Structure 1
Amino acid sequence: MREKFNKFMYGRYGNDELNQFLFKLVIGSLIISLFTKGVRYISDIFYYISICLAFSVYFRMFSKNLSKRYKERDSFLQYSSKFKTKQSQKKLYAFFKCPSCKQKVRVPKGKGKISIHCPKCNVDFIKKS
C-alpha cells in the first residue's frame, strides 16, 4: 500500500511550510465556524473559507507544476521572515515617527528620555523609550 502511494506521489509537489500554514488556517476557520453557529451568515462564510483553503492545500500538494509551487513557497517564506523580524525587533527597539516628516525612527528600548535625531529631515525631538 505504501509503495502505491509513493508511486502516486512521484513527481508531485507534496507538503511544505505554506501548506502547513494554510492547513492551520483551515482548522482555525472551522473552529470559528463552529463557535458562530448562532450567527448563520458568519458561520457559513467561515465554513466556505475553510473549504476553499482545504481545496488549495490539496491542489498544491498534488500539483505537478513544481516551479510554480516553489515560487509560491519562496514568496511566503520571504513575507513570513519579514514578519518574524519585525516581531523580534519590537522586543528590543521602540519605534517613533518624526513630528515633521513622519519618518519612522528606531531607538533602543529602556534608555529613558532620549533625544532622537531624524536621519531624513535632521530634526531633533525628545521621547521616552
Structure 2
Amino acid sequence: MNKIREAFQRFMYGRYGSDRLNQAMLIVFLVCAMLDIFVDNVYFSVLLTSWEFLLVILIYFRVFSRNISKRYAENQKYLALENKVRRFFGKTKYIQQQRKDFHIYTCPQCKQKIRIPKGKGKISVRCPKCGAEFVKNS
C-alpha cells in the first residue's frame, strides 16, 4: 500500500491537484447525477449526462494539469466570484435581521443607508456621511 502511495505522489509531482473550483464542479456533477436518477424526460436526461461527462473531463484536466499558474488564476477568479455571492447574501441576511428593530432609510443625496430605531415617531434624520437632513417616520 505504501508503494502505491509513493508512486501516486511521484506521478502527481509538478501537477496542479485539487482546489475549491474543482470541489464546486464536483458538487455540480453530483447534483446533475442525482437529477439524472430522478428525471424521466429522455431529452433532459441526455442533457444532464452530457454535462456530467464534460464536468468529469474538466475536473480531471484541472487536477492533472502541469500549467499551475493558469489553474491558480482560474481558481482565484472563482474565489472572487464566490466571495461576491457570499457577501451579497450575508449583507441581505444582516439587513433582514436589522429590520426587526430598525427602519433602514437611504439618504436622498449620497445614497448612504441609515438605521433609525423603530417607535420614535416622526424624527429629523441627519446623514452621517454628507450631513443632509430629512424627516422620516420611525
Q: What range is the shorter-chain TM-score in?
A: 0.7 to 0.9
Q: Structure 2 residue aligned with 1:28, among 2, 20, 31?
A: 31
Once superposed, what is the RMSD of the aligned Cα atoms? 2.3
| Distance across 2 between alignment mates of 1:127 and 1:68 | 54
Instruction: State the TM-score, normalized to the length of structure 1.
Output: 0.77
Residues 51-91 of structure 1, C-alpha deviation per residue, up to 9 Å, x if partnerless?
10111000000000000000000001111011111111111
Mark the CA change 1:21 to 1:115 in structure 2 (over 3 Å): closer, same or farther.
closer
Shift of residue 117 of structure 1?
2.0
CA contact (8 A) 1:23 1:53 kept: yes
Q: Structure 1 residues 76 and 50, CA, compared in 2 at 3 Å: closer, same or farther? A: same
- Indicate whether 1:66 and 2:61 are aligned: no
1:127 and 1:62 map into 2 onto residues whose CA distance is 61
What is the TM-score when the length of structure 2 is the normalising length? 0.72
Shift of residue 116, structure 1, vs aligned partner = 3.2
Gaps of 5+ in 1: 95-107
Distance 2:8 2:24 in 1: 24
Residues 54/125 of structure 1: CA separation in 2 closer, same or farther (3 Å cut): farther
1:86-126: CA deviations, max 9, x gaps? 111111116xxxxxxxxxxxxx5234556532325x8x796
In our comparison, the structure showing a higher alpha carbon Rg is 2
- Percent of residue pairs identical: 30
- Taking the TM superposition and a 5 Å limit, the aligned residue runs for 1:35-114 are 35-36=38-39, 38-93=40-95, 108-111=98-101, 113=103
- For 2:137 and 2:48, the matched residues in 1 are separated by 43
Aligned residues: 112
Offset at residue 127 of structure 1 (A):
9.0
Mark the CA change 1:125 to 1:20 in structure 2 (over 3 Å): closer, same or farther: farther
Whether the 8 Å contact between 1:26 and 1:53 is mirrored in structure 2 is yes
Match of 1:5 in 2: 8
Q: CA deviation at 1:2?
A: 1.0
Distance in 1 (CA, whole Å) between partners of 2:30 and 2:63 is: 17
